[in-house]
Amino acid sequence: MTEKKFRYVNPKPVRFGQAVDRISEHSVPLYRCGPHVWNVGGQDDVAVYLLDTGEGLILIDTGYTESVFMVVHNIWKLGFNPENIKMILLTHYHGDHVNGVASLVHISHAEVWLSKEDERMHQLYCRADRHGMHTAPYRVTNFYDDNTPIVLGRFTIETKLTPGHAPGCTSFFFEDTDDETGKTYRCAVHGGLGIAYMRPDMLANQDQTEEAAHRFIKDCLELAERPIDINMPSHLNQADIDNNLPADLNDYTWFVADYSWHDMLVNRAEAVKKFWPETYPEYQK
């Protein structure tokens, strides 16, 4: 591909999450998206970001139980050892992001980070009598503190609670510097942009109130103004990644697009406003 246009698109009707037994039909190649960052998820649904800190590896999310073998394969393919994963940072508690945790911790004994808000939800949905958003069992070892960055090696990662998709969605902000050029890029991963749970009839599904929807809108519009060079979406459709991969999968500069983060967040905020026309009159019919 010689041209790119990163933009939010609706999820495909069938993606890996709906076809976990058909990885060959829903695979996405390993690609580099920052000087020291790769998406090692291996499938067309949820991203799994690997950060090489120079002092060990960090994963942001883990994907599905059925795709964790691709995460391990891709880590080895890059020349790293999965046993050297030091931290697993979870955007939120939903199973499609966390169900690989137990396998990866078994390999690496990594720390597992989550928000306190979503640990409560994690415990609810691990129960056998709670149906719907099932999550595989795992143990959280650390909770985010938005006033204290996470530091390992070359990375200092700022966290921010961004509820809406789930009560404890957490977004990540960090800089990554190219060792050869010396250029530094501002990178971001939003904690959760799926909007269905912010519909009036769906809020209770995530134990949330109407205020969560309005906070989501406010947070998105405020964060959209934050200058970000490389947007790393937690689901590939959020920036139409699988239709915009570079010819050279090692060329992370392809993903430098200062509009991508802004446009993605504004798109999601406007979509949630449509659920609440009495509050946002511009969407009244």
Whether residue 117 contacts residue 144, with contact meaning beta carbons closer than 8 Å, is answered with no
Residue 50 pLDDT:
99
pLDDT for 204 equals 84
Residue 268, domain member (yes or no): yes
What CA–CA distance (Å, rounded) separates 264 from 269? 9
Taking 50 as the pLDDT cut, the residues of the chain under it are 131
pLDDT of residue 136: 83
Within-domain flag for 1: no
Please check whether residue 80 is in contact with residue 50, taking contact to mean a CB–CB distance below 8 angstroms.
Answer: yes
Q: Is residue 198 part of a domain?
A: yes
Q: What are the CA-CA distances from residue 202 to residues 115, 125, 256, 261 (Å)?
A: 22, 16, 35, 26
CATH of the domain at 53: 3.60.15.10
Would you say residue 143 lies in a domain?
yes
Residue 8 lies in a domain: no
Task: State residue 238 phi and psi, 5-degree precision.
Answer: -65, -20
Q: Is residue 225 part of a domain?
A: yes
Domain count, the chain: 1
Interval 175-227: pLDDT, tens: 999 999 999 999 999 999 999 999 999 988 888 899 999 999 999 999 999 99
Residue 178 and residue 42: Cα distance in Å, rounded?
Answer: 24
How far apart, in whole angstroms, are the C-alpha atoms of residue 92 and residue 98?
Answer: 8
- Which residues form the domain of 40? 16-283
At 119, list the tokens: 């640990």
User: Cα separation of 46 and 70, whole Å?
Assistant: 12
Residue with tokens 């959760």: 192
Query: Is position 104 within any domain?
Result: yes
Q: Which amino acid is at 91?
A: T
Instruction: List, in order, residues 6 or more apart from 37 with CB less than 8 Å away.
Output: 49, 50, 51, 52, 176, 187, 232, 252
With contact defined as beta carbons under 8 Å apart, do 164 and 216 qualify? yes
Tell me if 5 is assigned to some domain.
Answer: no
